[in-house]
């Protein structure tokens, strides 16, 4: 009943009416920096919404010349209280120097206690800048939230799990999308409004071009099934065997660092400590020995299959099903038997 | 209140304007490159969590230069070999023993070292502030750091330093070219690569694909012993190591019950279809 009265007075008067001790406990709110493509919020951002559920109201911040459709769509995401967007070409391509003042200003305007984003190349590049300007420490790649100031994150390539508590007034956090369920895209009732503060070009850095690999397959970071190849495949051409398996399993294709470094496949396919972190239902490691750095990127997969001719390969220690067999025999046989 | 941040934006524009007349400067004589190196547990060591859960065992464990920092040093040395850079300053923050990693950087080709000596547990925000103080003294044209340290896996320091200096950044660089005093950086993204152009001074963080670091040769290791290392404490630089984070516990990750072998492709498919139920 008292809550209803407080709400009817609005947040400001409710705070004034509280005893001094309650005022000291600042109310929590989150500024969630979202990513979008083709008029839709990214799946990783939906996972980040879930991670924010103990940080008060969630204001989603979107930017870029074509972000309005994504902003309107995001209003129905359960857990989002407000959507603020800036339709500005200055924010296209996620240039860190341009995004930083935009996010810092939004944090100052809202007084958000938490600035959050899903871990990605974009957020890893921008949020540390934001954090430095706010003079706070940052928490990267959080895999669990204990309370509004206590976070769990992997260190040493996932071989030590640290629980850390922050005493900073503002918590700047990136969350690992594979560790949180995606928030439902319906049930929310937020409204989208343009940002009051239009970005002003800083101009320190100019985006020139990009080289994006187009694929019809599911996105590696969010695919339900991943087939990955390593040094054992010997040549880039042999990845065609994995492509064929992937097509039958509706899977994404990944790679170990050894395969990427030897030029067998592009960098964005790399799974591991320094590449992408995946946690699909099924991960099939083909010709991958299982170095610590690779395991860091896939060991939270639900079911792991290893195909390797070396029975002592470390990958077999974590694989649910290990097949000791030459991959050049195993893959075609698997392919044939999946066709049936 | 947005108004209190207007000065920040104005300041950024001022810095951008100040940069603009440096753009045409060509680095023919005096391009200084600063590199950051960190002492970490060697990448090949299987780490052990302390029984009291306070951290990871570092006593009697092989320590090395962070692999990404080796790539940063290598890139700086290549810039000098191409006669683009004229001087390389290697900087480290850490206990007395970190001098070893600084000597490695000098043996790879850095000209002199700066050691900020501290036994405190430093976070990226602290290191960025200390590096900022060094940048203000040395005024490098380009700072190259590794994209992340393999111990804390933070991936923050370079971006934080760039922000504090109000400099542009090229994070996760796989290619770096300097043309007429401006920097072109190709960086690794989630979907491929992108190329950015930025004014100097700038901060670049090295990804794995930037280069293949060299091994220091014995003569160069001997020569490195004669190179100068300047020592400072955080106090000397006017930087306070403020507490931000408290480690509650450090634990082993949950163990996986792996290790089961199957005899054939048929048995594998049977398990996946009928036991794990992950394929149709």
Nearest Cα neighbor of B253 from A295, A145, A316, A302 is A295
Mean confidence (pLDDT) of chain B: 91
Judged by CB atoms closer than 8 Å, whether chains meet at B13 and A282 is answered as no
Beta carbons of B195 and B162 less than 8 angstroms apart: no
Nearest Cα neighbor of B168 from B115, B204, B127, B212 is B204
β A192-194/B63-65 pair status: unpaired
Q: How far is A85 from chain B (nearest CA, A)?
A: 16
pLDDT at position B259, please? Answer: 79
pLDDT at B8 over 90: no
Count of beta carbons in the 10 Å neighbourhood of residue B218: 8
Global pTM? 0.89
β B229-232/A192-194 pair status: unpaired
Residues 118-177 of B with CB under 8 A from A: 123-125, 128, 147-148, 150-164, 166-172, 174
**Contacting residues of A for B166, CB less than 8 Å apart:** 204
* Residue matched to tokens 């163990």: B255
Q: What is the pLDDT of residues B49-88, one digit of tens each?
A: 999 999 999 999 999 999 999 999 999 999 999 999 999 9
What mean pLDDT do residues A189-217 have?
Answer: 92
Tell me, yes or no, if B255 comes closer than 8 A to chain A by beta carbon. no
Q: What is the pLDDT of residues B218-254, one digit of tens each?
A: 999 999 999 999 999 999 999 999 999 999 999 999 9
Phi, psi of A229 (to 5 degrees): -120, 150
Mean confidence (pLDDT) of chain A: 91
What homologous superfamily is domain B2-275 in, according to CATH?
HUPs (3.40.50.620)
Share of chain A above pLDDT 90, in %: 85
- Per-residue confidence at B127, pLDDT binned at 50, 70, 90? very high
Q: How far is A31 from chain B (nearest CA, A)?
A: 15
pLDDT at position A222, please? Answer: 87
Strand arrangement, sheet containing A138-142: A138-142, A171-175, A114-118, A29-33, A57-63, A82-86, A192-194
Distance CA(B72)–CA(B104), nearest Å, equals 13
Report, in angstroms and rounded to the nearest whole number, the Rg of chain A calculated over CA atoms.
Answer: 22
Residue of A127, A209, A274 to mutate, testing the B interface (most B Cβ within 10 Å of its Cβ): A274
Long-range contacts of A16-23, Cβ-Cβ distance < 8 Å, separation of 24 or more: none
Q: What is the ipTM of this complex?
A: 0.89
Residue of B18, B163, B203, B210 to mutate, testing the A interface (most A Cβ within 10 Å of its Cβ): B163
Judged by CB atoms closer than 8 Å, whether chains meet at B194 and A337 is answered as no
pLDDT at A2 over 50: no
Judged by CB atoms closer than 8 Å, whether chains meet at B264 and A165 is answered as no
CA distance between the termini of chain A: 63
Residue numbering of the annotated binding site of A:
231, 256-257, 270-274, 287-294, 308
Distance CA(A138)–CA(A123), nearest Å, equals 12
Q: What residue segments make up the domains of chain B, in order of their start?
A: 2-275
Please, is B170 exposed, middle or buried when counting C-beta atoms within 10 Å of its C-beta (0-12, 13-18, 19+)? Answer: buried
β B169-179/B142-146 pair status: unpaired
Length of chain A, please?
Answer: 340
CA distance between the termini of chain B: 56
Q: How far is B253 from chain A (nearest CA, A)?
A: 6
Q: How far is B205 from chain A (nearest CA, A)?
A: 10
Judged by CB atoms closer than 8 Å, whether chains meet at A132 and B160 is answered as yes
What mean pLDDT do residues A39-49 have?
Answer: 96
- Per-residue confidence at A141, pLDDT binned at 50, 70, 90? very high
pLDDT at A10 over 50: no
Beta carbons of A271 and A228 less than 8 angstroms apart: yes
Beta carbons of B30 and B84 less than 8 angstroms apart: no
Which tokens belong to A173? 């956090």
Nearest Cα neighbor of A170 from A213, A107, A119 is A107
pLDDT at B17 over 90: no
Residue A43 DSSP class: H
Domains of chain A: 29-194 (3.40.50.620), 225-338 (3.40.50.1220)
Residue of A162, A200, A338 to mutate, testing the B interface (most B Cβ within 10 Å of its Cβ): A162
Residue A339 CB partners (closer than 8 Å, separation 6+) = A248
Q: What is the pLDDT of residues A12-41, one digit of tens each?
A: 444 444 444 444 456 999 999 999 999 999
Share of chain B above pLDDT 90, in %: 81
């Amino acid at each position: 009943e008292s809550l209803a009265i407080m709400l009817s007075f609005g947040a400001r008067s409710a705070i004034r009416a509280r005893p001094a001790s309650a005022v000291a406990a600042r109310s929590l709110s989150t500024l969630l920096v979202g990513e979008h493509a083709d008029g839709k919020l990214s799946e990783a951002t939906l996972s980040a919404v879930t991670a924010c559920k103990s940080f008060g109201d969630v204001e989603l911040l979107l930017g870029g010349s074509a972000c309005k459709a994504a902003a309107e769509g995001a209003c129905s995401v359960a857990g989002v209280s407000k959507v603020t967007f800036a339709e500005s070409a200055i924010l296209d391509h996620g240039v860190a120097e341009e995004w930083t003042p935009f996010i810092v200003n939004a944090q100052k305007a809202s007084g958000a206690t938490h600035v959050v984003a899903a871990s990605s190349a974009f957020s890893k590049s921008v949020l540390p800048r934001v954090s430095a300007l706010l003079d706070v420490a940052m928490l990267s790649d959080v895999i669990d939230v204990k309370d509004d100031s206590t976070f769990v994150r992997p260190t040493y390539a996932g071989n030590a799990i640290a629980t850390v508590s922050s005493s900073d007034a503002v918590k700047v956090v990136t969350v690992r999308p594979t560790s949180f369920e995606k928030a439902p895209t319906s049930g929310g009732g937020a409204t989208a409004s343009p940002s009051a503060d239009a970005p002003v070009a800083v101009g320190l850095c100019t985006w020139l071009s990009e080289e994006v690999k187009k694929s019809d397959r599911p996105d590696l970071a969010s695919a339900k099934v991943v087939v990955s190849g390593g040094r054992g495949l010997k040549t880039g051409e042999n990845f065609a065997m994995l492509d064929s398996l992937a097509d039958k399993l509706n899977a994404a294709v990944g790679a170990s660092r050894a395969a990427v470094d030897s030029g067998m496949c592009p960098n964005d396919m790399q799974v591991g400590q320094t590449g992408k972190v995946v946690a699909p239902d099924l991960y099939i490691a083909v010709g991958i020995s299982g170095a610590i750095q690779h395991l860091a990127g896939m060991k939270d997969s639900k079911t792991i299959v290893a195909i390797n001719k070396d029975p002592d390969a470390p990958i077999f220690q974590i694989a649910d099903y290990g097949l000791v067999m030459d991959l050049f025999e195993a893959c075609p046989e698997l392919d044939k038997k999946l066709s049936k | 209140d947005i108004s209190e941040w207007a000065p920040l934006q104005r300041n950024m524009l001022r810095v951008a304007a100040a940069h603009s007349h440096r753009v045409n400067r060509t680095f023919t004589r005096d391009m200084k490159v600063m590199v950051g190196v960190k002492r970490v547990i060697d990448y090949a060591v299987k780490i052990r969590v302390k029984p009291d859960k306070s951290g990871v065992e570092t006593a009697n464990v092989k320590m090395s230069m962070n692999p990404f920092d080796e790539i940063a040093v290598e890139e700086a040395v290549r810039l000098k070999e191409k006669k683009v850079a004229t001087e390389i300053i290697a900087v480290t923050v850490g206990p007395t023993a970190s001098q070893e990693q600084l000597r490695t950087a000098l043996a790879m080709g850095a000209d002199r070292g700066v050691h900020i000596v501290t036994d405190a547990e430093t976070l990226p925000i602290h290191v960025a502030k200390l590096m900022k103080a060094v940048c203000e003294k040395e005024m490098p044209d380009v700072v190259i750091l590794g994209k992340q340290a393999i111990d804390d896996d933070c991936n923050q320091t370079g971006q934080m330093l760039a922000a504090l200096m109000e400099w542009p950044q090229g994070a996760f660089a796989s290619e770096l070219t300097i043309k007429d005093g401006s920097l072109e950086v190709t960086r690794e993204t989630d979907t491929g690569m992108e190329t950015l152009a930025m004014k100097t001074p700038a901060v670049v963080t090295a990804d794995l694909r930037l280069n293949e670091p060299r091994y220091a040769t014995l003569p160069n290791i001997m020569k490195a012993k004669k190179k100068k290392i300047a020592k400072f404490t955080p106090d000397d630089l006017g930087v306070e190591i403020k507490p931000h984070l408290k480690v509650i516990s450090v634990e082993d990750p949950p163990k996986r019950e792996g290790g089961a072998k199957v005899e054939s492709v048929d048995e594998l498919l049977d398990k996946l279809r009928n036991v794990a139920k992950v394929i149709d």
